[in-house]
Structure 1
Amino acid sequence: MTVDPRRMEEGLIHKASVLDHKDDDHNISQKVDGIDGGHGINNEKEARPSGAVEDHESGFGDHKAGEQQPVLVPTKNKRVATLDAFRGLTIVIMILVDDGGGAYERIDHSPWNGCTLADFVMPFFLFIVGVAVALALKKIPKINDTIKKITLRTLKLLFWGILLQGGYSHAPDDLSYGVDMKQIRWCGILQRIALVYFIVALIETLATKRRPTVLQPGHLSIFTAYRWQWIGGFVAFVIYMITTYALYVPDWSFVAHDHHGAKGYTVKCGMRGHLGPACNAVGHVDRKVWGINHLYSSPVWSRLKACTLSYPNSGPLREGAPTWCHAPFEPEGLLSTISAILSGTIGIHYGHVLIHFKGHSERLQQWISMALGLLIIAIILHFTDAIPINKQLYSFSYVCFTAGAAGIVFSGFYILIDVWGWRTPFLFLEWIGMNAMLVFVLGAQGILAGFVNGWYYKNPNNTLVNWIQTHVFINVWNSERLGTLLYVIFAEITFWGVVAGILHKLGIYWKL
C-alpha cells in the first residue's frame, strides 16, 4: 500500500490503515469513562520520516522534487499519560474539598454565584469523560453491540451513584445503613456522569458513519467534521436556556425537619427567568420531576449572607432568614445535567483533536485557543451580570469557565508529562487516575473508612480513623483546621496514591 508520508505526518491517515488493520487500540471493549481507568487510551503520534518538513499553513509536508520518499518506521503506541494524571487530579481535588472543605470552607462549593476549587470537580470529570469517549469509540466494529455496552455501563454508574449518594450508605461516621424510600436521593455525582456519558457516547456512536478519516484544510475543519456532536451540545444548550428563562416558577411549599420537629414553609415566587436560589427553573424542574423529598437536604446556599451570620462559613441560620434557606435543593438535578452535556461535548472535541492532529504544537494550538475563548466568554458573561458563573444552576458561563480551565490544565499536563517527559512527579496522579473508580468509592465516599470505623473500642466514636485524626494530626499541630488539612493530605490522598500504585504494579484495576 502506497502512503503519502506528508499526510501520515499530519495525522490525516489512520495508523491502522497503514500498519495493521487488526491492531485496534481503541476498541470499545476496553473500559473507558470519566471514573474508571481507561487503559485503552494511547498516544497516536507516528514516527516522523527523516527529511520531512512541516508546513503549518497548509497542513502538509513538503519534499524536494525527485527526492526519494523515506521509509516509515512504525513505532509502538505510547499511552497518553495526561488523561490518567488529569483524572487522578480530579479525584484528589474531590477528596481535598470534601474532607478538607469543612475546615477551610473557602475551598468548598460557592454558596451561589462564583467559582471555588470544589466547583471544578464535576466539570473536570465530565471533560475527561468526553476525551475518553472520543478515544474509546474511535473505531466501532458493531454499532448495536456498542450501544448495548454504553447502556450497560450507564446503568452500572446509576446503580453505584444511588447506592453511594442516595442515602443508603452513611459512611464513614455513622455505622448505620439503610434509606427510607420516601426520602431517597435520586441524583448525585455518578448519576450525572452516567447521563452525560450516555448522551455523548450515544451521539458519538450513531454518528460513526459520518466520521471523517481525512480532515479538510482549515482551523475549523475539526468542528465541521464532527458537526453532529456539536449539534447535540447545541440542542442541550437551547433546551437549558429556554427552560431556564421561559419556564414559569409558581409559589412552592416544603416541610423542614430539625431537632425541634417538623415545620412547614412557603416560598413566594410567581416569576420567570429568576437566577437566585428561591425561584429558579432548575429547582422547579427537580421539585416537579423527583419530588421535593428526594432532593439534597443540605444545599450550600445555607452559607449565604442572607441565611447565616457565619457567611461564608457554615453556621446556624439567622433569625428571620428567608424561608428558602431551610429548603432542599438538588445540585446535580435534571435541567442542570442537560446543561452539563456541554462539558462532555467540549471534552469530546479535545479527544478528536488528539486523534486527528499528531504534532504536539498542533494539538496545543487547538486546545489552548479554544480554552482561552471559553474563558473570555465566561468572564464577559459573569462580570456583565448577563449569566453569572453558578455551579448549582450549571449556568452557561459556568460551563465555559470550567471547560476553559480544564482545557488549560489538560494542556499544561500534556506539555509537562507527554511532551517534556516529566512523568515521575505525576506518577501518583496517574496511579489514582488508573483506579479512579476504586478510589472514588472506597476513598472519596468513605467506604473503607466506614469499614474501619466498624471496629471500635467501647464506643462508636473511639475508632482507629478518629484516633489517628485526633492524636496524630489535630493534637500534634494544636489546630483542628491545620490538623484536618494534613490528615486529608497524608492519611487520605497520599494513602490512596500508595494503594493505587501498588494495585497498578499488581495489574489490578476496578472498572465498570
Structure 2
Amino acid sequence: MDVWLGELGEFSLRVERGNLSSNATCGPITTTRAPVNSSLPVLIAAGVLLLLSILFPLSGWVLRLRCVQSMIGRVLHRPDNHTLLNNEAMVPPQPQILPPNATTATSTQAQRLRSLDTFRGISIVLMVFVNYGGGKYWYFKHSAWNGLTVADLVFPWFVFALGSAVGLSTAGPLRRGRPSRLRLSLRALWRSLLLFLIGIFIVTPNYCHGPLVWSELRVPGVLQRLAVANAAVSLLEIYAWGPHHSPLARVMRWPWLRDLLPFWPQWLLVGLLQVAWLSLTLLLPVPGCMTGYLGPGGIGSGGSQANCTGGAAGYIDRWLLTDRHLYQTPTTRNLYRTTVPYDPEGILGTLNVVLSAFLGLQAARTVLSFPGDHRGIVRRFLLWAALLGVISAVLTKCTRDEGFLPVNKNLWSTSFVTVTACFAFLLLAALHLATDALQVWTGTPFHYAGMNPLLLYVGHELLASFFPFRWGAPPAPPAGPLPHAWPLAQNLVACAIWVVVAWRLHHHRLYLKL
C-alpha cells in the first residue's frame, strides 16, 4: 500500500501484537495534522516570474511611446532622457552569422549569438540558485549518486555553452589567418591557466576557516574543469582540420553534412578520449574493489564495496592527489554513509567533460555552416537532441540503476553527457527560434548574465555567506509556515540581485574576461 506523507503533517499508525511474537496487525494510518502543499511556494514564484517576463516586453513598448518619453523627460528635466530611454527599450541588433568564405568588413568583428548568451545566462542563474540552496527542494539538489535532477543539468550546460563560445570566437581568426595558430593556442592556454588558478586559490578555499594551507587545498573544482575543457576544445578547433582548409570540404557530395564531415579528425580524437574513459572505468583493477564498479560505496551494494566510492575514478584521484586534496563531503556521505573522500570534479570524469564541451562546439559549427538558415539550424538542433536521446535510452535502458552506464554526475558518465546535451540542444533550439529567428524575445534578463558569467560565478561563490545574499530566518510559529517559502524567497532574491548586477555592468560595458 502506497501512502503519501506530506511535509509538516502528523500521522499515526496503530500496531497490535498478537499472542505469537511473529503475529502483528497494523491499523490504518490516520492524519493528526494535515500536511502542507510544499510545491505551492515554487508554483507562486514561477507564476510571478512568468508574469514579469510578460510585463517586461510590454514595458519596453510603453517606454517607446512619445507621450511617455516626453512626460518622463519633463519630470526628470534631462534633455538626453529621450535617447537613453529609447536605447534601453529598443531590441539590440541581431548578429549576422557569416559563411566561412565571407570577406566583408563585418566578418572581422566579434559576433555574438543572442540565443547562446541567453542559454549561458540561464545556466549561470540556475547555478547561483542551486548553489545558494535551491529553496531546499530536492529537485534543486544534486543526486546522491545515479539519477538526474534540475541541479545536475546546470554544470554540463555551462560546459556546453563554453564549447559553443570557443567555436564562435575562433571561427573568424581561423578564417582570416591572423593571429597565427600559435598565438591563438597560447591565448587559449593562458586563459585556461587563469581559470584553473582562480578555481584553486580564490573560489575553492574558505578563508573564514583560516589562512590558505596547501596541504589541505582541494585541487579539482568547477573552474578547474572548465579550464581543461576550454584548453582541449580550443586546441582541437585550432589545429585539427576544419572546413576552411580540409580537402574533404571541397569535394563533399553531401553539403547538408558540411557541419559534420569536415571535422572527422576531431571526432576521432574525442572518440579516443571516450575509449580511454571506458577502458579505465570498466577495466582498471582497483585494490580491494570489484573491477568496473560504478557504485557509491558505503552501505551500497550491501556494504561489500564500502571503500570503493566511484570505483576507478575515486581510486585514480586518491592515488594521484591524495585524500586531503579532494572534496571531503560528497553527496554520498549522508545517504550511503561513505567514509572515504570523493571528488565529483575528479580527473577521470574530466575526459568526458571534454565531450560535453565538444558537443557545444558542434552546435556552434551548425550555426556557422548554415548562415541565415534559422529553420535549418533549429531542425539540426532537434535532430542532435533526438540522436543523443536515443543513445541515452540505450545506455541506461530507460532506468536509473539497471543500464549499461547509468546517468551519474559524480562519475560524469557517458550517458550523463548524452542526456544533458540532449536537453541542451532542445533548449538552445527553442532559444534560437525565439531570439535569433523570430525575434519575439530578446533573452532579457538572462542574456545580461550570459555576457558576464565568470564575474557572477566568482562573485556568488565569494559572497555567498554575506548579506544581502543570505540572512537569518525568523523563528517559526508553532503551527509552522510553508516549509520552503522562506529559503525559496531568500535564494530567489539573491539570484535577482546578481541579475541586476549583470544588467548594470552591461549598461556600463563592464565585463570580466580572461
Pairwise same-fold verdict (TM > 0.5): yes
Matched, 1:227 2:264: yes
Matched residue pairs, number? 392
Q: 2:496 is paired with a residue of what secondary structure?
A: helix
Which TM-score applies when normalising by structure 2?
A: 0.72
Give 1:237's match in structure 2, choosing from 267, 270, 274. 274
The separation in 2 between residues aligned to 1:285 and 1:85, in whole angstroms, is 37
Q: 1:374 to 1:473 in 2, by over 3 A?
A: farther
Matched, 1:329 2:416: no
> Is contact 1:273–1:281 with CA below 8 Å preserved after alignment?
yes
Match of 2:365 in 1: 352
Q: 1:428 to 1:13 in 2, by over 3 A?
A: closer
Q: 1:220 to 1:184 in 2, by over 3 A?
A: same
The one-letter code matched in structure 1 to 2:376 is E
Match of 1:379 in 2: 393
Match of 2:227 in 1: 194
Matched, 1:448 2:466: no
- Write out per-residue CA displacement over residues 364-392 of structure 1, whole angstroms, 9 at most, x where no aligned residue: 12111011110121122112611111111
Deviation at 1:362, TM superposition (A): 1.2
Deviation at 1:101, TM superposition (A): 3.9
CA RMSD of aligned residues (A): 2.6
The one-letter code matched in structure 2 to 1:24 is T
Deviation at 1:165, TM superposition (A): 4.2
> Is contact 1:103–1:485 with CA below 8 Å preserved after alignment?
yes
Deviation at 1:179, TM superposition (A): 2.9
Match of 2:319 in 1: 288
Give 1:370's match in structure 2, choosing from 378, 381, 384. 384
Deviation at 1:302, TM superposition (A): 2.1
The separation in 2 between residues aligned to 1:420 and 1:221, in whole angstroms, is 25
Work out which of the two has the higher radius of gyration on C-alpha atoms and give 1 or 2. 2
The one-letter code matched in structure 2 to 1:223 is L
> Is contact 1:154–1:195 with CA below 8 Å preserved after alignment?
yes
The separation in 2 between residues aligned to 1:117 and 1:437, in whole angstroms, is 21
Give 2:101's match in structure 1, choosing from 2, 8, 14. 14
Q: 1:422 is paired with a residue of what secondary structure?
A: coil
Which TM-score applies when normalising by structure 1?
A: 0.72
Q: 1:466 to 1:92 in 2, by over 3 A?
A: closer
The one-letter code matched in structure 1 to 2:384 is M
Structure 1 segment 375-454 matched on structure 2, within 5 A: 375-383=389-397, 385-424=403-442, 426-443=443-460, 445=461, 447-450=462-465, 453=466
The one-letter code matched in structure 1 to 2:375 is S
The one-letter code matched in structure 2 to 1:149 is R
Alignment identity in percent? 29
> Is contact 2:273–2:351 with CA below 8 Å preserved after alignment?
yes
Deviation at 1:441, TM superposition (A): 0.9
The one-letter code matched in structure 1 to 2:436 is D
The separation in 1 between residues aligned to 2:199 and 2:468, in whole angstroms, is 27
> Is contact 1:91–1:432 with CA below 8 Å preserved after alignment?
yes
Deviation at 1:339, TM superposition (A): 1.3
Q: 1:85 to 1:196 in 2, by over 3 A?
A: same
Deviation at 1:346, TM superposition (A): 0.7
> Is contact 1:473–1:486 with CA below 8 Å preserved after alignment?
no
The one-letter code matched in structure 2 to 1:339 is N
Q: Give ranges in structure 2 of 5+ residues lacking alignment.
A: 1-95, 298-307
> Is contact 1:350–1:367 with CA below 8 Å preserved after alignment?
yes
Match of 2:59 in 1: none
Structure 1 segment 235-314 matched on structure 2, within 5 A: 235-251=272-288, 269=289, 271-278=290-297, 279=308, 280-304=311-335, 306-307=336-337
> Is contact 1:211–1:226 with CA below 8 Å preserved after alignment?
no
The one-letter code matched in structure 2 to 1:86 is F
Q: Mean Cα displacement is larger for which, 228-237 or 195-204?
A: 228-237
- Write out per-residue CA displacement over residues 323-360 of structure 1, whole angstroms, 9 at most, x where no aligned residue: xx122101001100011111011111111111110201
The separation in 2 between residues aligned to 1:246 and 1:197, in whole angstroms, is 28
Match of 1:68 in 2: none
Structure 1 segment 153-168 matched on structure 2, within 5 A: 153-167=191-205
Deviation at 1:164, TM superposition (A): 3.4
Matched, 1:24 2:108: yes
Q: 1:326 is paired with a residue of what secondary structure?
A: coil
Match of 2:184 in 1: 146
Give 2:354's match in structure 1, choosing from 329, 338, 341. 341
- Write out per-residue CA displacement over residues 76-116 of structure 1, whole angstroms, 9 at most, x where no aligned residue: xxx42111111111111111211124722332111111111
Deviation at 1:220, TM superposition (A): 3.3
- Write out per-residue CA displacement over residues 178-204 of structure 1, whole angstroms, 9 at most, x where no aligned residue: 232221100000000000110110111
The separation in 2 between residues aligned to 1:419 and 1:464, in whole angstroms, is 38
Match of 1:507 in 2: 509
The separation in 2 between residues aligned to 1:413 and 1:474, in whole angstroms, is 44
The separation in 2 between residues aligned to 1:473 and 1:222, in whole angstroms, is 58
Q: 1:286 to 1:83 in 2, by over 3 A?
A: same
Q: 2:275 is paired with a residue of what secondary structure?
A: helix
- Write out per-residue CA displacement over residues 160-218 of structure 1, whole angstroms, 9 at most, x where no aligned residue: 11023432x34xxxx34423222110000000000011011011111257645867334
The separation in 2 between residues aligned to 1:393 and 1:240, in whole angstroms, is 10
The separation in 1 between residues aligned to 2:131 and 2:329, in whole angstroms, is 14
The separation in 2 between residues aligned to 1:101 and 1:465, in whole angstroms, is 13
Match of 1:50 in 2: none
The separation in 2 between residues aligned to 1:125 and 1:493, in whole angstroms, is 17
The separation in 2 between residues aligned to 1:355 and 1:118, in whole angstroms, is 31
The separation in 2 between residues aligned to 1:10 and 1:498, in whole angstroms, is 29
- Write out per-residue CA displacement over residues 212-238 of structure 1, whole angstroms, 9 at most, x where no aligned residue: 586733443422211122122111101
